[in-house]
Structure 1
Amino acid sequence: MRIPVVLLASQAFLLSAGVASAEDRQYPWSGDWYLKVGATGFLGPEYEGSSKTMLQAAPLVSMGKVGSSVRFSSRNDNISYALVDHVHFRAGAVGKLIFERDEDASDDLKGLDPVKFGGELGGFAEFYPTDWMRFRAEVRQGIRSHHGVVADITADAFTDVSETIRISAGPRLTAATSDYFDAYYGVNAAESAASGLGTYDPDGGIHSVGLGAAINWQATEKLETGAYAEYRRLLGAAADSSLVNERGSRDQFLVGVSATYRFDFTLP
Protein backbone atom coordinates (compact mmCIF):
# COMPACT_ATOMS: atom_id res chain seq x y z
CA MET A 1 0.00 0.00 0.00
CA ARG A 2 1.40 3.39 -0.98
CA ILE A 3 0.68 6.53 1.06
CA PRO A 4 0.61 9.57 -1.26
CA VAL A 5 1.04 12.58 1.01
CA VAL A 6 -0.07 14.85 -1.84
CA LEU A 7 -3.67 13.91 -1.07
CA LEU A 8 -3.42 15.69 2.25
CA ALA A 9 -4.58 18.73 0.33
CA SER A 10 -7.49 17.07 -1.38
CA GLN A 11 -9.69 17.68 1.63
CA ALA A 12 -10.91 21.25 2.08
CA PHE A 13 -9.19 23.35 4.76
CA LEU A 14 -12.21 25.60 5.31
CA LEU A 15 -11.37 28.84 7.11
CA SER A 16 -14.08 31.48 7.40
CA ALA A 17 -12.70 34.98 7.52
CA GLY A 18 -14.89 36.47 10.22
CA VAL A 19 -14.60 40.22 10.80
CA ALA A 20 -14.88 41.17 14.46
CA SER A 21 -15.91 44.60 15.69
CA ALA A 22 -13.58 46.87 17.62
CA GLU A 23 -16.19 47.17 20.34
CA ASP A 24 -15.82 43.58 21.54
CA ARG A 25 -12.02 43.71 20.92
CA GLN A 26 -11.94 40.40 19.12
CA TYR A 27 -9.49 39.37 16.44
CA PRO A 28 -10.64 37.97 13.06
CA TRP A 29 -9.71 34.49 14.28
CA SER A 30 -11.53 34.83 17.61
CA GLY A 31 -14.40 32.44 18.25
CA ASP A 32 -15.32 28.78 18.13
CA TRP A 33 -13.51 26.52 15.66
CA TYR A 34 -13.42 22.86 14.70
CA LEU A 35 -10.56 20.67 13.49
CA LYS A 36 -11.28 17.41 11.67
CA VAL A 37 -8.55 14.81 11.29
CA GLY A 38 -8.77 11.37 9.76
CA ALA A 39 -7.72 9.17 6.87
CA THR A 40 -8.95 7.77 3.58
CA GLY A 41 -8.16 4.52 1.81
CA PHE A 42 -8.89 4.14 -1.88
CA LEU A 43 -8.23 2.19 -5.03
CA GLY A 44 -7.04 4.54 -7.75
CA PRO A 45 -4.59 5.07 -10.63
CA GLU A 46 -0.87 4.73 -9.91
CA TYR A 47 -0.40 8.18 -11.46
CA GLU A 48 -2.53 10.63 -13.41
CA GLY A 49 -3.32 8.86 -16.69
CA SER A 50 -2.31 5.38 -15.58
CA SER A 51 -4.18 2.25 -16.62
CA LYS A 52 -3.01 0.46 -13.47
CA THR A 53 -4.64 0.86 -10.08
CA MET A 54 -3.30 0.31 -6.60
CA LEU A 55 -4.52 0.52 -3.01
CA GLN A 56 -3.49 3.83 -1.48
CA ALA A 57 -4.03 5.81 1.71
CA ALA A 58 -3.87 9.47 2.69
CA PRO A 59 -4.51 11.67 5.72
CA LEU A 60 -7.49 14.06 5.79
CA VAL A 61 -7.40 17.44 7.53
CA SER A 62 -10.03 20.17 7.52
CA MET A 63 -10.65 23.18 9.72
CA GLY A 64 -13.43 25.71 9.94
CA LYS A 65 -15.07 28.36 12.05
CA VAL A 66 -18.33 27.36 13.70
CA GLY A 67 -21.21 29.36 12.28
CA SER A 68 -19.73 29.96 8.82
CA SER A 69 -21.94 29.58 5.75
CA VAL A 70 -20.30 26.31 4.61
CA ARG A 71 -23.14 23.90 3.90
CA PHE A 72 -21.33 21.36 1.77
CA SER A 73 -17.74 20.28 1.18
CA SER A 74 -16.26 17.74 -1.19
CA ARG A 75 -13.09 15.68 -1.28
CA ASN A 76 -12.35 17.56 -4.52
CA ASP A 77 -12.11 20.90 -2.69
CA ASN A 78 -8.58 22.14 -2.11
CA ILE A 79 -7.19 24.18 0.78
CA SER A 80 -9.23 27.40 0.86
CA TYR A 81 -9.64 30.57 2.91
CA ALA A 82 -12.91 32.45 2.52
CA LEU A 83 -12.48 36.24 2.30
CA VAL A 84 -16.15 36.66 1.39
CA ASP A 85 -18.59 34.46 3.29
CA HIS A 86 -22.32 34.89 2.80
CA VAL A 87 -25.26 32.51 2.94
CA HIS A 88 -25.32 31.79 -0.79
CA PHE A 89 -21.81 32.79 -1.88
CA ARG A 90 -18.24 32.27 -0.73
CA ALA A 91 -14.96 33.32 -2.33
CA GLY A 92 -11.32 33.64 -1.39
CA ALA A 93 -7.87 32.14 -1.72
CA VAL A 94 -7.13 28.51 -2.53
CA GLY A 95 -4.00 26.37 -2.61
CA LYS A 96 -2.91 22.84 -3.37
CA LEU A 97 0.19 20.90 -2.35
CA ILE A 98 1.92 18.86 -5.06
CA PHE A 99 4.50 16.28 -4.14
CA GLU A 100 7.10 14.81 -6.44
CA ARG A 101 6.04 12.35 -9.11
CA ASP A 102 8.84 10.14 -10.37
CA GLU A 103 9.58 6.61 -11.56
CA ASP A 104 9.12 5.30 -8.00
CA ALA A 105 5.38 5.80 -8.51
CA SER A 106 5.28 3.50 -11.55
CA ASP A 107 7.60 1.74 -13.97
CA ASP A 108 5.67 3.53 -16.72
CA LEU A 109 7.42 6.77 -15.74
CA LYS A 110 10.99 5.52 -16.14
CA GLY A 111 12.99 7.86 -18.33
CA LEU A 112 10.63 10.81 -17.82
CA ASP A 113 11.63 13.94 -15.92
CA PRO A 114 10.08 13.96 -12.43
CA VAL A 115 7.42 16.45 -11.42
CA LYS A 116 9.03 18.47 -8.63
CA PHE A 117 7.59 19.15 -5.19
CA GLY A 118 5.62 22.39 -5.22
CA GLY A 119 2.06 23.59 -5.27
CA GLU A 120 -0.62 25.75 -6.81
CA LEU A 121 -2.05 29.04 -5.54
CA GLY A 122 -5.08 30.96 -6.73
CA GLY A 123 -8.68 31.78 -5.95
CA PHE A 124 -12.02 30.02 -5.56
CA ALA A 125 -15.68 30.93 -5.69
CA GLU A 126 -18.74 28.88 -4.84
CA PHE A 127 -22.45 29.56 -4.66
CA TYR A 128 -25.64 27.77 -3.71
CA PRO A 129 -28.45 28.42 -6.22
CA THR A 130 -30.70 26.21 -4.08
CA ASP A 131 -30.56 24.58 -0.66
CA TRP A 132 -29.48 21.30 -2.27
CA MET A 133 -26.85 22.30 -4.85
CA ARG A 134 -23.40 23.90 -4.83
CA PHE A 135 -21.29 25.16 -7.73
CA ARG A 136 -17.57 25.70 -7.14
CA ALA A 137 -14.72 26.92 -9.33
CA GLU A 138 -10.99 27.07 -8.56
CA VAL A 139 -8.26 28.71 -10.67
CA ARG A 140 -4.68 28.01 -9.54
CA GLN A 141 -1.20 28.98 -10.76
CA GLY A 142 1.48 26.31 -10.52
CA ILE A 143 4.57 26.93 -8.40
CA ARG A 144 7.74 24.90 -9.05
CA SER A 145 5.95 21.63 -9.91
CA HIS A 146 4.76 23.26 -13.13
CA HIS A 147 4.24 26.78 -14.43
CA GLY A 148 0.76 26.38 -15.86
CA VAL A 149 -2.70 27.48 -14.78
CA VAL A 150 -5.28 24.87 -13.73
CA ALA A 151 -9.04 25.40 -13.43
CA ASP A 152 -11.48 23.02 -11.72
CA ILE A 153 -15.26 23.42 -12.03
CA THR A 154 -17.61 21.19 -10.04
CA ALA A 155 -21.32 20.98 -9.30
CA ASP A 156 -22.76 18.86 -6.51
CA ALA A 157 -26.35 18.07 -5.65
CA PHE A 158 -26.72 16.88 -2.06
CA THR A 159 -29.54 15.71 0.18
CA ASP A 160 -29.92 14.34 3.68
CA VAL A 161 -31.74 11.03 3.50
CA SER A 162 -31.82 10.93 7.31
CA GLU A 163 -30.51 13.00 10.20
CA THR A 164 -27.14 11.25 9.92
CA ILE A 165 -26.76 10.24 6.25
CA ARG A 166 -26.06 12.57 3.32
CA ILE A 167 -25.61 11.60 -0.33
CA SER A 168 -24.15 13.80 -3.05
CA ALA A 169 -23.17 13.59 -6.69
CA GLY A 170 -22.27 15.79 -9.62
CA PRO A 171 -20.10 16.53 -12.66
CA ARG A 172 -16.44 17.64 -12.70
CA LEU A 173 -14.44 19.48 -15.35
CA THR A 174 -10.74 20.37 -15.39
CA ALA A 175 -8.84 22.57 -17.85
CA ALA A 176 -5.21 23.68 -17.93
CA THR A 177 -2.62 25.59 -19.94
CA SER A 178 0.16 23.98 -21.96
CA ASP A 179 2.78 24.36 -19.21
CA TYR A 180 0.76 22.07 -16.95
CA PHE A 181 0.30 19.44 -19.66
CA ASP A 182 4.00 19.63 -20.54
CA ALA A 183 4.98 18.75 -16.94
CA TYR A 184 2.60 15.78 -16.65
CA TYR A 185 2.11 14.57 -20.21
CA GLY A 186 4.85 16.05 -22.39
CA VAL A 187 7.69 13.90 -23.74
CA ASN A 188 10.72 15.69 -25.22
CA ALA A 189 13.42 14.08 -27.38
CA ALA A 190 15.67 13.17 -24.45
CA GLU A 191 12.78 11.67 -22.50
CA SER A 192 11.66 9.76 -25.59
CA ALA A 193 15.09 8.21 -25.98
CA ALA A 194 15.26 7.27 -22.31
CA SER A 195 11.68 5.99 -21.93
CA GLY A 196 10.82 4.57 -25.33
CA LEU A 197 7.72 6.77 -25.57
CA GLY A 198 6.96 8.85 -28.62
CA THR A 199 7.75 12.57 -28.42
CA TYR A 200 4.80 14.77 -27.50
CA ASP A 201 4.49 18.57 -27.21
CA PRO A 202 1.04 19.34 -25.75
CA ASP A 203 -1.16 22.42 -26.08
CA GLY A 204 -3.55 23.71 -23.43
CA GLY A 205 -7.27 23.04 -23.17
CA ILE A 206 -9.74 20.72 -21.48
CA HIS A 207 -8.03 18.13 -19.31
CA SER A 208 -10.94 15.89 -18.27
CA VAL A 209 -14.63 15.60 -17.54
CA GLY A 210 -16.24 13.21 -15.11
CA LEU A 211 -18.70 12.38 -12.37
CA GLY A 212 -18.30 11.90 -8.64
CA ALA A 213 -20.60 10.58 -5.91
CA ALA A 214 -20.34 10.18 -2.15
CA ILE A 215 -22.29 9.03 0.87
CA ASN A 216 -21.45 10.37 4.32
CA TRP A 217 -22.61 8.99 7.64
CA GLN A 218 -22.43 11.02 10.85
CA ALA A 219 -21.76 8.01 13.08
CA THR A 220 -21.56 10.12 16.25
CA GLU A 221 -21.56 13.82 17.03
CA LYS A 222 -17.84 13.97 16.26
CA LEU A 223 -17.14 10.91 14.06
CA GLU A 224 -17.98 11.06 10.35
CA THR A 225 -17.45 8.23 7.88
CA GLY A 226 -18.00 8.03 4.16
CA ALA A 227 -17.59 6.21 0.87
CA TYR A 228 -17.03 7.74 -2.54
CA ALA A 229 -16.49 6.90 -6.19
CA GLU A 230 -15.30 8.96 -9.12
CA TYR A 231 -14.83 8.54 -12.86
CA ARG A 232 -12.90 10.91 -15.13
CA ARG A 233 -12.38 10.76 -18.89
CA LEU A 234 -9.13 12.36 -20.06
CA LEU A 235 -9.56 14.66 -23.05
CA GLY A 236 -7.51 16.89 -25.32
CA ALA A 237 -3.80 17.17 -24.59
CA ALA A 238 -3.98 14.62 -21.77
CA ALA A 239 -5.75 11.99 -23.87
CA ASP A 240 -3.42 12.53 -26.84
CA SER A 241 -0.22 12.08 -24.82
CA SER A 242 2.04 9.19 -25.78
CA LEU A 243 2.25 8.32 -22.07
CA VAL A 244 -1.51 7.75 -21.97
CA ASN A 245 -1.87 6.18 -25.41
CA GLU A 246 1.08 3.81 -25.13
CA ARG A 247 1.05 2.94 -21.42
CA GLY A 248 -1.98 4.43 -19.74
CA SER A 249 -5.71 4.91 -20.15
CA ARG A 250 -8.09 7.77 -20.82
CA ASP A 251 -10.52 6.28 -18.30
CA GLN A 252 -9.67 7.03 -14.68
CA PHE A 253 -11.59 5.32 -11.85
CA LEU A 254 -11.33 5.82 -8.10
CA VAL A 255 -13.29 4.34 -5.18
CA GLY A 256 -12.61 4.72 -1.48
CA VAL A 257 -13.73 5.12 2.12
CA SER A 258 -12.90 7.74 4.73
CA ALA A 259 -13.30 8.61 8.40
CA THR A 260 -12.69 11.86 10.31
CA TYR A 261 -12.98 12.92 13.95
CA ARG A 262 -13.85 16.48 14.98
CA PHE A 263 -12.12 18.42 17.75
CA ASP A 264 -13.73 21.66 18.95
CA PHE A 265 -11.75 24.58 20.38
CA THR A 266 -12.01 28.33 20.99
CA LEU A 267 -9.55 31.07 20.14
CA PRO A 268 -9.54 34.30 22.18
Structure 2
Amino acid sequence: MAFRFIGARSIQQFSHFALIAFFLILGFTPSARAQWFIPGDPEDWNAQLGMGAALRPDFPGASNHIITPVPFIDLTYKKRFFLNSGRGLGTFLYGDKNGRLKYMLGISAGPSLDNRSRNDIAGMPRVGLTAEGRVFGEVFFDNWSVELTLSKDMLGEGHEGLTGDLGLNYTQRLEGKKGLFRIGPQIRFGSGDYMDSFFSVTADQSIASGLRPFDADAGLQSIGGRAFLSYPLFGNWNAVGAIRYFRLVSDSADSPVSLDKDQFGLFAAIAYRF
Protein backbone atom coordinates (compact mmCIF):
# COMPACT_ATOMS: atom_id res chain seq x y z
CA MET A 1 0.00 0.00 0.00
CA ALA A 2 1.40 3.39 -0.99
CA PHE A 3 0.78 6.81 0.52
CA ARG A 4 1.40 10.30 -0.80
CA PHE A 5 0.64 13.89 0.10
CA ILE A 6 -1.15 15.94 -2.56
CA GLY A 7 0.39 19.16 -3.84
CA ALA A 8 -0.83 22.69 -3.23
CA ARG A 9 -2.69 22.89 -6.52
CA SER A 10 -4.54 19.64 -5.83
CA ILE A 11 -5.42 20.79 -2.31
CA GLN A 12 -7.03 23.91 -3.72
CA GLN A 13 -9.05 21.86 -6.19
CA PHE A 14 -9.87 19.21 -3.59
CA SER A 15 -11.85 21.45 -1.22
CA HIS A 16 -11.87 24.96 -2.67
CA PHE A 17 -15.17 26.20 -1.33
CA ALA A 18 -14.74 24.50 2.05
CA LEU A 19 -11.30 26.02 2.63
CA ILE A 20 -12.56 29.50 1.79
CA ALA A 21 -15.52 29.12 4.13
CA PHE A 22 -13.32 27.72 6.90
CA PHE A 23 -10.74 30.51 6.90
CA LEU A 24 -13.37 33.24 6.60
CA ILE A 25 -15.19 31.89 9.62
CA LEU A 26 -12.03 31.20 11.64
CA GLY A 27 -10.91 34.80 11.22
CA PHE A 28 -13.63 36.04 13.57
CA THR A 29 -13.57 35.80 17.35
CA PRO A 30 -16.66 34.49 19.18
CA SER A 31 -17.72 38.04 20.13
CA ALA A 32 -17.32 39.27 16.56
CA ARG A 33 -19.25 36.23 15.41
CA ALA A 34 -22.23 37.28 17.49
CA GLN A 35 -22.04 40.97 16.65
CA TRP A 36 -21.28 40.98 12.95
CA PHE A 37 -20.55 37.78 11.08
CA ILE A 38 -23.50 35.75 12.35
CA PRO A 39 -26.80 37.65 12.16
CA GLY A 40 -29.49 37.48 14.79
CA ASP A 41 -29.34 35.81 18.19
CA PRO A 42 -26.12 33.81 18.79
CA GLU A 43 -28.22 31.24 20.64
CA ASP A 44 -29.74 30.28 17.28
CA TRP A 45 -26.36 28.93 16.19
CA ASN A 46 -24.56 25.67 16.88
CA ALA A 47 -20.99 25.70 15.59
CA GLN A 48 -17.83 23.61 15.56
CA LEU A 49 -14.75 24.62 13.55
CA GLY A 50 -11.43 22.86 13.27
CA MET A 51 -8.65 21.53 11.09
CA GLY A 52 -7.53 17.99 10.42
CA ALA A 53 -6.25 15.53 7.85
CA ALA A 54 -7.87 12.81 5.76
CA LEU A 55 -6.44 9.61 4.34
CA ARG A 56 -8.42 8.26 1.38
CA PRO A 57 -7.98 6.16 -1.79
CA ASP A 58 -6.42 8.11 -4.64
CA PHE A 59 -9.44 7.20 -6.79
CA PRO A 60 -12.25 4.60 -6.58
CA GLY A 61 -10.52 1.25 -6.90
CA ALA A 62 -7.02 2.59 -6.16
CA SER A 63 -4.45 0.58 -4.23
CA ASN A 64 -2.61 3.71 -3.00
CA HIS A 65 -3.87 6.44 -0.68
CA ILE A 66 -3.43 10.20 -0.42
CA ILE A 67 -3.25 12.37 2.69
CA THR A 68 -4.85 15.81 2.52
CA PRO A 69 -5.42 18.66 4.98
CA VAL A 70 -9.17 19.10 5.45
CA PRO A 71 -11.17 21.69 7.43
CA PHE A 72 -13.81 20.42 9.83
CA ILE A 73 -16.94 22.59 9.64
CA ASP A 74 -20.23 22.01 11.41
CA LEU A 75 -22.54 25.04 11.46
CA THR A 76 -26.29 24.89 12.11
CA TYR A 77 -28.70 27.84 12.23
CA LYS A 78 -32.02 27.45 14.03
CA LYS A 79 -31.64 23.66 13.62
CA ARG A 80 -32.64 24.09 9.96
CA PHE A 81 -29.84 25.52 7.80
CA PHE A 82 -26.35 24.00 7.87
CA LEU A 83 -22.86 24.00 6.46
CA ASN A 84 -20.75 20.97 7.35
CA SER A 85 -17.90 18.89 6.03
CA GLY A 86 -20.06 15.83 5.42
CA ARG A 87 -23.14 17.09 3.60
CA GLY A 88 -22.05 20.55 2.42
CA LEU A 89 -24.40 23.54 2.40
CA GLY A 90 -28.11 22.81 2.78
CA THR A 91 -31.33 22.86 4.71
CA PHE A 92 -33.63 20.45 6.50
CA LEU A 93 -36.95 20.52 4.64
CA TYR A 94 -39.01 18.39 6.98
CA GLY A 95 -38.82 16.92 10.44
CA ASP A 96 -41.45 15.27 12.59
CA LYS A 97 -41.93 12.91 15.51
CA ASN A 98 -44.46 10.15 16.02
CA GLY A 99 -43.98 8.44 19.35
CA ARG A 100 -40.48 6.90 19.36
CA LEU A 101 -40.13 7.43 15.59
CA LYS A 102 -38.52 10.58 14.16
CA TYR A 103 -38.30 11.61 10.51
CA MET A 104 -35.99 14.00 8.69
CA LEU A 105 -35.65 15.10 5.04
CA GLY A 106 -33.18 17.60 3.58
CA ILE A 107 -31.25 18.84 0.55
CA SER A 108 -27.69 20.10 0.17
CA ALA A 109 -24.86 20.81 -2.26
CA GLY A 110 -21.22 19.93 -1.73
CA PRO A 111 -18.01 18.77 -3.40
CA SER A 112 -17.61 15.22 -4.68
CA LEU A 113 -14.46 13.50 -3.45
CA ASP A 114 -14.61 10.80 -6.14
CA ASN A 115 -12.18 11.77 -8.90
CA ARG A 116 -9.28 10.43 -10.95
CA SER A 117 -6.42 12.23 -12.68
CA ARG A 118 -4.95 11.27 -16.06
CA ASN A 119 -1.76 10.22 -14.27
CA ASP A 120 -3.50 7.70 -12.02
CA ILE A 121 -3.97 5.10 -14.77
CA ALA A 122 -2.06 5.72 -18.00
CA GLY A 123 -4.35 5.86 -21.01
CA MET A 124 -7.56 6.29 -18.98
CA PRO A 125 -9.45 9.60 -18.99
CA ARG A 126 -9.60 12.06 -16.14
CA VAL A 127 -12.67 12.19 -13.92
CA GLY A 128 -12.70 15.73 -12.56
CA LEU A 129 -13.74 17.26 -9.27
CA THR A 130 -17.33 18.44 -9.29
CA ALA A 131 -20.19 19.64 -7.11
CA GLU A 132 -23.03 17.31 -6.20
CA GLY A 133 -26.65 18.03 -5.38
CA ARG A 134 -27.94 15.79 -2.60
CA VAL A 135 -31.30 14.69 -1.24
CA PHE A 136 -31.17 12.82 2.07
CA GLY A 137 -33.61 11.36 4.53
CA GLU A 138 -33.35 9.53 7.83
CA VAL A 139 -35.80 7.65 10.05
CA PHE A 140 -34.86 7.35 13.74
CA PHE A 141 -36.01 4.83 16.34
CA ASP A 142 -34.36 5.54 19.70
CA ASN A 143 -30.60 5.16 19.05
CA TRP A 144 -31.06 3.48 15.66
CA SER A 145 -31.70 5.08 12.28
CA VAL A 146 -31.91 4.23 8.59
CA GLU A 147 -30.42 6.81 6.23
CA LEU A 148 -30.62 7.24 2.44
CA THR A 149 -28.63 9.83 0.45
CA LEU A 150 -28.92 10.39 -3.31
CA SER A 151 -26.11 12.44 -4.90
CA LYS A 152 -26.04 13.81 -8.47
CA ASP A 153 -23.20 15.49 -10.38
CA MET A 154 -24.52 19.03 -10.97
CA LEU A 155 -21.72 20.43 -13.14
CA GLY A 156 -21.05 17.58 -15.56
CA GLU A 157 -17.31 17.92 -14.92
CA GLY A 158 -16.90 14.77 -12.85
CA HIS A 159 -18.53 11.35 -12.88
CA GLU A 160 -21.73 12.81 -14.43
CA GLY A 161 -23.79 10.20 -12.62
CA LEU A 162 -25.93 9.45 -9.60
CA THR A 163 -25.04 7.53 -6.45
CA GLY A 164 -27.24 6.19 -3.67
CA ASP A 165 -25.93 5.47 -0.16
CA LEU A 166 -28.10 3.41 2.18
CA GLY A 167 -26.98 2.96 5.77
CA LEU A 168 -28.04 1.68 9.18
CA ASN A 169 -26.70 3.76 12.08
CA TYR A 170 -26.37 3.36 15.83
CA THR A 171 -25.87 6.73 17.56
CA GLN A 172 -24.87 7.34 21.18
CA ARG A 173 -24.47 10.69 22.92
CA LEU A 174 -21.38 11.02 25.15
CA GLU A 175 -20.25 13.17 28.07
CA GLY A 176 -23.52 14.93 28.82
CA LYS A 177 -24.49 15.13 25.14
CA LYS A 178 -21.36 17.15 24.29
CA GLY A 179 -19.90 14.19 22.43
CA LEU A 180 -21.30 11.79 19.86
CA PHE A 181 -20.47 8.31 18.54
CA ARG A 182 -22.10 6.84 15.41
CA ILE A 183 -21.40 3.52 13.69
CA GLY A 184 -23.09 1.30 11.13
CA PRO A 185 -23.01 -0.58 7.82
CA GLN A 186 -23.56 1.11 4.45
CA ILE A 187 -24.00 0.11 0.83
CA ARG A 188 -23.58 2.23 -2.31
CA PHE A 189 -25.31 2.01 -5.67
CA GLY A 190 -24.06 3.75 -8.80
CA SER A 191 -25.87 4.80 -11.98
CA GLY A 192 -24.62 3.76 -15.42
CA ASP A 193 -22.81 7.09 -15.96
CA TYR A 194 -21.09 6.86 -12.58
CA MET A 195 -19.98 3.27 -13.13
CA ASP A 196 -18.81 4.04 -16.67
CA SER A 197 -16.71 7.00 -15.47
CA PHE A 198 -14.68 4.95 -13.00
CA PHE A 199 -14.91 1.30 -14.00
CA SER A 200 -15.64 0.91 -17.74
CA VAL A 201 -12.92 0.59 -20.38
CA THR A 202 -13.91 1.39 -23.97
CA ALA A 203 -12.17 -0.12 -27.01
CA ASP A 204 -10.13 3.06 -27.58
CA GLN A 205 -9.22 3.28 -23.90
CA SER A 206 -8.19 -0.36 -23.96
CA ILE A 207 -5.71 0.35 -26.76
CA ALA A 208 -4.32 3.41 -24.96
CA SER A 209 -4.09 1.83 -21.50
CA GLY A 210 -3.41 -1.82 -22.24
CA LEU A 211 -6.40 -2.81 -20.09
CA ARG A 212 -9.00 -5.25 -21.38
CA PRO A 213 -12.31 -3.73 -22.54
CA PHE A 214 -14.97 -3.72 -19.85
CA ASP A 215 -18.54 -2.44 -19.65
CA ALA A 216 -19.63 -1.68 -16.08
CA ASP A 217 -23.38 -1.73 -15.52
CA ALA A 218 -25.41 0.30 -13.05
CA GLY A 219 -26.01 -1.37 -9.70
CA LEU A 220 -24.38 -2.19 -6.41
CA GLN A 221 -20.89 -0.71 -6.19
CA SER A 222 -19.67 -1.35 -2.63
CA ILE A 223 -20.54 -2.79 0.79
CA GLY A 224 -18.95 -1.65 4.00
CA GLY A 225 -19.35 0.55 7.04
CA ARG A 226 -18.26 3.71 8.81
CA ALA A 227 -17.83 5.14 12.31
CA PHE A 228 -17.72 8.73 13.56
CA LEU A 229 -16.63 10.13 16.94
CA SER A 230 -16.77 13.63 18.41
CA TYR A 231 -15.36 13.64 21.94
CA PRO A 232 -14.88 16.61 24.32
CA LEU A 233 -11.28 17.17 25.40
CA PHE A 234 -11.12 20.29 27.57
CA GLY A 235 -13.01 23.56 27.59
CA ASN A 236 -14.76 23.92 24.24
CA TRP A 237 -12.28 21.75 22.33
CA ASN A 238 -13.33 18.43 20.75
CA ALA A 239 -11.46 15.58 19.11
CA VAL A 240 -13.18 14.49 15.90
CA GLY A 241 -12.46 11.28 14.02
CA ALA A 242 -13.96 9.03 11.38
CA ILE A 243 -13.09 5.72 9.78
CA ARG A 244 -14.70 3.99 6.81
CA TYR A 245 -14.16 0.69 5.03
CA PHE A 246 -15.81 -0.49 1.82
CA ARG A 247 -15.29 -3.51 -0.40
CA LEU A 248 -15.96 -3.15 -4.10
CA VAL A 249 -18.44 -5.70 -5.42
CA SER A 250 -20.04 -6.73 -8.70
CA ASP A 251 -18.78 -4.83 -11.79
CA SER A 252 -16.73 -2.35 -9.75
CA ALA A 253 -14.74 -5.27 -8.31
CA ASP A 254 -14.41 -7.09 -11.66
CA SER A 255 -13.23 -3.99 -13.55
CA PRO A 256 -9.58 -4.01 -14.75
CA VAL A 257 -9.39 -0.41 -13.50
CA SER A 258 -9.83 -1.57 -9.89
CA LEU A 259 -6.43 -2.30 -8.37
CA ASP A 260 -7.70 -3.08 -4.87
CA LYS A 261 -11.18 -4.23 -3.87
CA ASP A 262 -10.66 -3.09 -0.26
CA GLN A 263 -11.09 0.66 0.19
CA PHE A 264 -10.65 2.48 3.48
CA GLY A 265 -10.29 6.02 4.74
CA LEU A 266 -9.45 7.88 7.95
CA PHE A 267 -10.12 11.40 9.19
CA ALA A 268 -8.91 13.14 12.37
CA ALA A 269 -9.30 16.75 13.50
CA ILE A 270 -9.34 19.08 16.48
CA ALA A 271 -12.37 21.38 16.60
CA TYR A 272 -13.53 24.30 18.75
CA ARG A 273 -17.18 24.35 19.82
CA PHE A 274 -18.75 27.83 20.04
TM norm structure 1: 0.76
Question: SS in structure 1 opposite 2:212?
Answer: coil
2:36 maps to 1:37: no
CA–CA separation in structure 2 for the residues paired with 1:155 and 1:175 = 15
Alpha-carbon distance between aligned partners in 2 of 1:167 and 1:102, rounded to the nearest angstrom? 32
Give the alignment partner of residue 232 of structure 1, picking from 238, 246, 254. 246
2:272 — aligned with what?
A: 261
Give the letter aligned to residue 159 of structure 1. Answer: Q
Q: Aligned residue for 2:190?
A: 176
Aligned residues of 2:45 and 2:76 also touching (Cα < 8 A):
yes
User: 2:273 & 2:90 partners in 1: Cα distance?
Assistant: 18
Structure-1 separation of matches of 2:214 and 2:135: 31
Match of 1:212 in 2: 226
2:199–2:216 Cα contact (<8 Å) kept: yes
Aligned residues: percent identity? 21
The CA distance in 1 between the partners of 2:227 and 2:130, in whole Å, is: 29
Q: Is 2:164 the counterpart of 1:151?
A: yes
Q: Which amino acid aligns with 1:158?
A: T
* RMSD between superposed Cα atoms in Å: 3.1
Corresponding residue of 1:98: 112
Aligned to 1:89: 103
Aligned ranges 1:68-217 → 2 under 5 Å = 77=87, 79-87=89-97, 88-98=102-112, 101-103=115-117, 107-130=119-142, 132-143=143-154, 144=156, 145-163=158-176, 164-217=178-231
Q: CA deviation at 1:157?
A: 0.8
Q: How many residues align?
A: 238
State the TM-score, normalizing by the size of structure 2.
0.74
Q: Secondary structure at the match of 2:62?
A: coil
More relative contact order in 1 or in 2 (CA 8 Å, sep 6+)?
1
The amino acid that maps onto 2:270 is A
Q: Any conservation in 1 of the 2:81–2:92 contact (CA below 8 Å)?
A: no
Distance 2:260 2:232 in 1: 36
Mapped to 2, the partners of 1:6 and 1:137 lie a distance apart of 25
Instruction: Encode CA deviations 1:69-105: one digit per residue, 9 max, x unaligned.
Output: 99xxx9754544211133522112133323683436x
* Match of residue 249, structure 1, among 219, 239, 260: 260
Pair 1:101–1:140, CA change in 2 (3 A): closer
Cα pair 2:150 2:162 within 8 Å, conserved: yes
Secondary structure of the structure 1 residue equivalent to 2:257 = helix
2: distance between equivalents of 1:158 and 1:69?
A: 22
Which ranges in structure 2 are unaligned for 5 or more consecutive residues?
A: 22-38
Measured after TM superposition, the shift of residue 129 of structure 1 is 1.1
Shift of 1:183: 1.0
Residues 172 and 127 of structure 1: is their aligned pair in 2 closer, same or farther, counting only changes over 3 Å?
Answer: same
- Residues 20-59 of structure 1 correspond to what in structure 2 (within 5 A)? 31=41, 32-59=44-71
Query: Could you list the runs of 5+ residues in structure 1 that have no partner in the other structure?
Result: 14-28, 264-268
Structure 1's 235 and 99: CA in aligned 2 closer, same or farther, altered over 3 A? closer
Change (3 A) 1:102 1:167: closer
Q: CA deviation at 1:249?
A: 0.7
| 1:190 aligned counterpart, secondary structure | helix
Judged with a 3 Å threshold, the aligned counterparts in structure 2 of structure 1 residues 216 and 262 are, in CA distance, closer, same or farther, namely closer
